[in-house]
Structure 1
Amino acid sequence: MTWIATLPMYNVTPALAAVWREWLGDVLRTVEPACRIVEPDGELHALWRRADLLISQTCGYPLMHGLREQVQLIATPQFDAPGCDGALYSSVLVTRADAPFDSLADCRGARAAYNQDDSNSGMNVFRHAVAPLALSGVFFSAIVRTGSHLGSLRAVVDNEADVATIDCVTFAFVCDELPELAEKVRQIGVTAASPGLPLIASGTVPSATIEALCESLNQALAAQPDRAKRLRLKGFSALPFVDYERITQLENEARALGYPRLA
């Protein structure tokens, strides 16, 4: 079998995507059997469930909603970004730089943007943050689904929405790679933290190969410090599935407050 590999989550620009691909190539160079890097596409749920998937990165929300039964955890990256603490991360609440909001509470009746229904950083922690403020399950005047964190940022900048939550790692990369976009928004808060986006493998990958991948991750990280700095990578943690139950806990806390969905 020829395995496949792809890193779909933090490619905020083509230039940064190329650096991620180079790093992934180095990770795979010492791992057997053969593996080819494929370009991520819109069918990520199908890709994450492929039997020939050697390594990819997923969001913790789909991981805890059906994906965990079909994959293995390899490692969780530790990023050097504001809002990260080891393998934990949070999302930043942003509004337009000239908007009249200084906190999430100020955004009552405003318009919210989020990336995807199954995003922990763009939807789940946003819902958790809003839940204590909502009245009868409603807080915003309108909800806009944008399809991506970049889309949410642009919706805020273009006055199509007033507030969004952005994965803090994504936002750090936007500050690095797209400073003109970052300068047009202002941070007004931070969400609760949860485990970061894990690297996963198909359940069919042998345990010895998983161990080899873990070793290769660290070798590729140490081989080029400047590249690691560009990717904001500090290291990796071996988190068990039970740690990701924090994501379900945040969801359940919002539901318990009568706020099952962004509204």
Structure 2
Amino acid sequence: MNWVAALPMYNVTPALAADWRALLAHVHTELADWLAAHGETLEIVDAGAALEPFWLRDDLLLSQTCGYPLVHALDGRVRVIATPDFAVDGCTNGTYRSVLVTGAHVDAPSLEACRGVRAAYNDDDSNSGMNLLRDAVAPLARGSRFFASVHKTGGHLASLRALAIEQSADVAAIDCVTFAFVREHLPELAAGVREIGVTKSTPGLPFIASNALPADAAALLADALDDAVSANPSLATRLKLKGFVRHPTADYASILEIERAAIGLGYPRLA
């Protein structure tokens, strides 16, 4: 097999994208003997814009997905390898949450005060930007429309730009890891928004592989990720990585429970 790998989820800046590729390069080195013994190769690639087809490739050795597609489109179709444990406020033992933010131009001290404003979210299959925001709004909406409008931006950075720069939206939920990277690397963007709360926590964005990957290689892969953090402390610090947690796939069912709770409150979609 000619395997491929890409980590597309937290490439907030080109420098961070290079650091994630460096993490993959270390994994590649650690798996070199296994690959050679099986006559196989690994190429670090660009995942491209269409992530779901990439995640479902039979030759996928390693990538990172969101928990929402993991329990929907990818359910039973990929192998969970490990979940990163970030040194970020809101992350504990491989969990994370979203930060609720408004544009600095918005006079709303809480999510409840955001009734009738314009919401932005990154994508329909996002846990952090859509599912957790829907969960936070559901008890406030009481089965009816809460926002004046809802706009899909295509990414967390685009949502932040809509709030902070374009002022074309007023409130959004941003993955706390993304927001931590933005505060460090794009402070001018972070300065244009205000934090007004946080969402529930769920297991973080898992590293995954194809179901075609043998079990012995999956175990080596998980060990290689651990080694990448311990062997290069400066890289781990730049990526805010404390290590990796072995969350069983069943832990991600909490994302489905959050979705079902919002639907049960009569709020099946952001509105």
* Fold-level similarity (TM above 0.5): yes
- TM-aligned CA deviation for residue 68 of structure 1: 2.4
CA distance in 1, matches of 2:141, 2:268: 11
Which amino acid in structure 2 is aligned with residue 194 of structure 1?
Answer: T
- TM-aligned CA deviation for residue 219 of structure 1: 1.0
**Residue of 239, 247, 254 corresponding to 2:255:** 247
Which amino acid in structure 1 is aligned with residue 236 of structure 2?
Answer: A
Which amino acid in structure 2 is aligned with residue 40 of structure 1?
Answer: A
- TM-aligned CA deviation for residue 97 of structure 1: 2.3
Between the two proteins, the alignment pairs up a number of residues equal to 263
Which amino acid in structure 2 is aligned with residue 94 of structure 1?
Answer: V
- Residue 147 of structure 1 aligns with which residue? 154
CA distance in 2, matches of 1:174, 1:48: 25
Which amino acid in structure 1 is aligned with residue 2 of structure 2?
Answer: T
| 1:89-113 deviations in Å (ceiling 9; x for gaps) | 0000001224201100000000000
| 1:163-219 deviations in Å (ceiling 9; x for gaps) | 000000000010111011111111000001100000000000000001111111111
User: Are positions 1:179 and 2:203 aligned together?
Assistant: no
Alignment of 1:115-194 (within 5 A): 115-157=122-164, 158-194=166-202
CA distance in 2, matches of 1:234, 1:26: 16
Check the 8 A contact 1:137/1:260 in 2, yes or no.
no
- Residue 13 of structure 2 aligns with which residue? 13
Alignment of 1:200-219 (within 5 A): 200-219=208-227
Give the unaligned 5+ runs of structure 2.
36-40
| 1:103-135 deviations in Å (ceiling 9; x for gaps) | 000000000000000000000000000000004
Check the 8 A contact 2:143/2:265 in 1, yes or no.
no
- TM-aligned CA deviation for residue 156 of structure 1: 0.7
Q: CA RMSD in A?
A: 0.8
- TM-aligned CA deviation for residue 83 of structure 1: 1.2
Which amino acid in structure 1 is aligned with residue 154 of structure 2?
Answer: G
Q: Which runs of 4+ in 1 moved over 3 A?
A: none
- Residue 113 of structure 1 aligns with which residue? 120
- Residue 228 of structure 2 aligns with which residue? 220
1:159 counterpart SS class: coil
CA distance in 2, matches of 1:8, 1:136: 35
- Residue 95 of structure 2 aligns with which residue? 88
- Residue 38 of structure 2 aligns with which residue? none
CA distance in 2, matches of 1:55, 1:137: 41
Which amino acid in structure 2 is aligned with residue 8 of structure 1?
Answer: P
CA distance in 2, matches of 1:250, 1:121: 12
Alignment of 1:65-76 (within 5 A): 65-76=72-83
Check the 8 A contact 1:94/1:163 in 2, yes or no.
yes
CA distance in 1, matches of 2:148, 2:119: 8
Q: With the length of structure 2 as denominator, give the TM-score of the two structures.
A: 0.95
- Residue 25 of structure 2 aligns with which residue? 25
Which amino acid in structure 2 is aligned with residue 15 of structure 1?
Answer: A
- TM-aligned CA deviation for residue 137 of structure 1: 2.5
CA distance in 2, matches of 1:71, 1:137: 36
Give the unaligned 5+ runs of structure 1.
none
| 1:23-70 deviations in Å (ceiling 9; x for gaps) | 111111121322100112111100000000000000000110030211
- Residue 2 of structure 1 aligns with which residue? 2
Check the 8 A contact 1:131/1:258 in 2, yes or no.
yes
CA distance in 2, matches of 1:129, 1:201: 31
1:214 counterpart SS class: helix
Check the 8 A contact 2:58/2:210 in 1, yes or no.
yes
2:72 counterpart SS class: helix
CA distance in 2, matches of 1:66, 1:101: 36
